Amino acid sequence: MSALANNVKELNRLMHKGCSLLAIVKDEAYGHGAKEISTALQRMGVDAYGVATVDEGIELREYGITGFILVLGYTDPSRATDLSKYDITQTVFDEAYARELSESGCDIKVHIAVDSGMHRLGLSADDTEAVARLFTLEHLTVDGIFTHLCVSDSHLTEDYEYTVYQVEAFNRLLSELYARGLKTRAQHIVSSYGLLNYPEIKSSYARVGISLYGADSEEGAVKNTDASLLPVMSLRTKIIQLRTFPEGSYIGYGRTFVTKRESRIAVLPIGYADGIPRCLSGKASVLVNGKRAPMVGRICMDQLMIDVTDIEDAKVGSVVTIVGTDGDETITAEEICTQADTITNEFFSRLGRRLDIVVK
């Protein structure tokens, strides 16, 4: 929680006047626990939240979140009553969808998603007419309008130029809308890397996910900032069985690992169903009593094995750190994700719901 508070403070420090934090807590707050994270953020003064689905939004209301909630993804029009009942703002990304929502007859607040070059969701930034028509729909109130950058985490010159092009396309649309008297409460562009690398971009909200949790998407990600963000999550388990096997013993499915000496092999009650990428088999290490111990054999659905031959004080019940610090050693989520050839966003969001969330 102190890391989360630090990150909120640091991110707020980066924001220009008029910009505020829209905390992205979709998918259980990137696996950190939507309830724990959102209620803590509310106590820290955060009053805007982003989720992927209407059900995630309803859960936030049930946890007592009273602020602004934006669904960034699709909500089936049959759920319009829930949007209205729970005061959840819906993203609309094309005209037909917006009409369907309006025709539900429920009064719904919306933010318009504008495609300025990512070519995922959104109305084209060039189509001022279509965007303008959304303001006329009977049951929709256009509370905001936003776009999403696709290369704000890159420092290549051509990516920098592409980002500038996206921002200009969005701002051009806004001026054309203003000229017609169509104004919204909020206009937003940046997410984590947009804020970190382009803090000067005018945006009513910074839609921050991964940076809030103190992680870089990838090891060595370029950040044009002095913000010091701290990892919020540690992932720990414990040894549940420990046995000594002679040289030449096979460990796990497929007999992919064979002991090269008498070895102490420990079993951990966590596996790929809990989000430990199976492709880490034979590649990654964990920490036991401040020392690195390699994973051995294939990672199973519910267990994995480690070699603690060189960690004499390891015993059943010893705490094992998969991500985090133990003594002088640290394993970062970024390190694991490099080994697994993925980004921390995916690793966090795949952490299984069987894990206990312990708040400290």
State yes or no: is 253 an active-site residue: yes
User: Rule CB under 6 A: which of 197-236 touch ligand PLP?
Assistant: 207-211
**Identity of the amino acid at 294:** P
Of 38, 53, 84, 192, the residue at the interface with ligand PLP (CB under 6 A) is 192
Exactly one of 26, 35, 109, 291 is catalytic; which is it?
26
Number of residues that bind ligand PLP (CB under 6 A): 12
139-178 mask for ligand PLP (x: CB under 6 A)? ---------x------------------------------
State yes or no: is 202 an active-site residue: no
User: Rule CB under 6 A: which of 70-99 touch ligand PLP?
Assistant: 72
Q: Is 343 in the site for ligand PLP (CB under 6 A)?
A: no
Residue nearest to ligand PLP (CB): 209
Calpha distance 147→162 (Å, rounded):
14
Give least dist CB 299 to ligand PLP, A. 26
Q: Is 35 in the site for ligand PLP (CB under 6 A)?
A: no
Q: Is 191 in the site for ligand PLP (CB under 6 A)?
A: yes
Exactly one of 35, 253, 260, 291 is catalytic; which is it?
253
β-pair type (319-326, 329-331): antiparallel
Reduced DSSP (H G I as helix, E B as strand, rest coil) percent helix, strand, coil of the chain, to 5: 30, 25, 45
Write the burial class of residue 6 (CB in 10 Å: 0-12 exposed, 13-18 middle, 19+ buried): middle
- Kindly state the helix (H) or strand (E) to which residue 166 belongs, with its residue range: helix 157-179
Give least dist CB 159 to ligand PLP, A. 15
Give least dist CB 211 to ligand PLP, A. 6
Q: Is 24 in the site for ligand PLP (CB under 6 A)?
A: yes
For the four alpha carbons of 153, 286, 291 and 260, in that order, the dihedral sign comes to: negative
In the structure encoding, which two tokens stand for residue 323, read together? 């991500």
In the structure encoding, which two tokens stand for residue 58, read together? 């309803």
Phi then psi for residue 173, to 5 deg, are: -60, -45
Calpha distance 342→323 (Å, rounded):
15
Interface residues toward ligand PLP, by CB under 6 A: 24, 26, 72, 148, 191-192, 207-211, 345
- Residues with a catalytic annotation lie at 26, 253
